[in-house]
Structure 1
Amino acid sequence: MQLFSIFNAMLLGSAMAQPIAHLHHQHAAKRDVVVVTETQIVTVNGEGQTIDYVHASADSTTEAPSTTEAAQYAPTTTTSYTPATTTSSSEAETSSEAEKTTSQKEEPSSTSSSAAAASSSSSSDDDSGSFSGQTKGITYSPYTSSGACKSKDEVAADLKKLSDYSLIRLYGVDCNQVENVFQGKAEGQKLMLGIFYMDSISDAVSEIAAAVEKYGSWNDVTTVSVGNELVNNGEATPSQIKEYVATGRSALKAAGYTGKVVSVDTHVAIINNPELCEYSDYIVFNAHSYWDGTIYPEGAGSWLLLQMQRVWDACGGDKDVFCGETGWPTQGDANGVAVPSKENQETALSAIASSCGSSAVSFNAFDDLWKNPGSKNVEQYWGLY
């Protein structure tokens, strides 16, 4: 996996959120505004590259994000890289606004009805979701449109559509998802596994270890994430994250795993709480330009590249940085100039793939009709396929 770093990009952008509650993951609604007035020219892996936002306004201002704003998720195998140097830079005027919804346990939304089910991209026969811009990996959740667990065969059918991705990212262990994905994934595909509930870390590790022993090997696992956007959602302090990661790392080591262990949060949470950088083997964050509100889909790649730089800078340039979740909704309400549509989703993901796709995971494989619609009515519609 190729990891990008960009030197001295001075921006306070903002990001997205992610799953919460019960067996189901729900994004915490959040919006951040990033205003860029000038073009940044940076060097990425030795090659000069122009970073230019496609944005709506150069003079709007809002208050800075709170210290609890953040990201989530984990990557694939990490490789060392040489930090890029800035060949030319200009000060970027920035402002951001964030709105945070605290995680809560919730049942599947009642709006996931027959009408919604008709458009479900779960294990349907519709393979029309071909996607031209491909990232390193893609996230996957093993739930039907009603929120029930998918069967092993349904998971296998889903994964056939995702065979071109190098990495599949999971958020938890419920619904036998680890063992089902091990059995259904393509040969050579790697897994980024997740422990979602901090009150059952040891149990989750036991489930992961059992699936690995029966259906694969630890070599198939690039990373295990312990917690997802917990600081962002106000569910944990950085010191608690330290304890959770230490507990997970110890249990995983006892089970025979010696790979990477991380805790995922939003990029804003990491920037505002740089001590989080100390606890993970490398830095994984979640960021979605849709929630920025001033970025058109054409600018999604440049925007994400700059968020990578901001996180890398905040962490002192000492560790690799990876985006564990990024995407664009296909239905729902506009957020400023960010308009949900299938066409805009493909434009955004293609831009991301071109800019930093080898360092990013697309969200999400299929629509999540079991979720609540959320503040912008977009939560159910991030599926690529």
Structure 2
Amino acid sequence: MRILHTSDWHLGRTLEGHSRIPEQVEFLDELCDILDEEKIDLVLIAGDVYDTYNPPAGAEQLFFSALERLSANGRRAVVAIAGNHDSPDRLKAAQPLASKQGIFLLGFPGEDLPQKTNPGPALNEVAAAGQFSFPGEQAYIVQGGPGWLEIAVPGCREHAVLVTLPYPSEQRLNQVLSDSLEEQAMQKAYSERVALALAQGAAFFREDTVNLVVSHLYVLGGHTSDSERDIQLGGAYVVEPAALPANAHYVALGHLHRPQRVGGSPVPCRYSGSPLCYSFSETDQQKEVVVVEVTPGQDVKIWSRKLTSGKPMLLKRFKSYQEAYEWCAAPENKEAWVYLEIESPEPLSGVELDQLNKAHPGIIFRRVILPGSSNREEGERLSQLSLEEKFRMFVARETGNAPDDELVTLFLELAGGGEGDETNPS
């Protein structure tokens, strides 16, 4: 059986007001091509399908159309779970319709999908005989329970047994895990609760089945990116690698946007990462999806398929405004999101900023580096400046343009201190 592992699509996400939907469409087209090229039998989507609890209609339409394409009318099984960015109820709302196409959507930990997708006695007899090549065949649930399901996958003699653990926050688990407020005790209790949930499902793994885990977790030791807004680093929601079931063939995780193996895991375990760069901290990452080939009784084969869709995110630093403008105006540099750092003897004028924006549509941030701005003596001198002078320098550095007097006045009013107020904590 061949499995494709992907996660963290974040459909509907924007970048400083710029829509990423066109890039996400491009990714899904590329994903469908990979499914055909690799002859994938089962797709695992490990959470954070959407970027928000209440995604825009365009994002939902994109997800539903993607599911239809991924499943190929039920000839390919698809399992998707909710991540921390997803509304569990919203994600699983389409399950009654989706299950008829071999698509299984799970929102909460411990969810037990109804086995209404069973194709009937005639097809069950064929399946039991190990014959899976009849026309019109679709994936269906053979059996299941809270937190696990067994799926008959078209074209495969083996069934897949999946332990499914959508994002297990205390609220979604509907359980207080520790009476202690100490971080170490809370983390230990959380890791043990996750381990228990995974072990209960893994008890249904068999030697003749393809045994998989799909979850949305932060496993200790994982490398993060700035775009993971809600990860509680060092907090209670951290899981020890030893919590993962040792009898699984593969553990598919979502939550971290950097593709990576999980160190210290007793079984093959990976984060597939996000399919697109979602922050400038990800400029060095090669995005990918993971392909896993499992035959019971044999070694698991794992490889990645590099993704080429989406615009790159670039950090560019220039010695002068003219150098920056020439780079921005070059046609070969247009298809990228750009963070500009420009060394300049003074803040850029409004005309210069307008010229930059017209030259390159993908400028997201501009930072002007003024003389002495990285000098230690300059930093020490800041403590002697008034609040107004500090604010003017900050705006000039971060936006590349000096603030107008109205903005400065508004800031001082909101700060509540006015110019030279030494008692103001800002």
**TM-score, normalised via structure 2 length:** 0.30
**TM-score, normalised via structure 1 length:** 0.33
Give the structure, 1 or 2, with the largest relative contact order (CA under 8 Å, sep 6 or more). Answer: 1
Of Structure 1 and Structure 2, which has the larger fraction of its residues in strand? Answer: 2
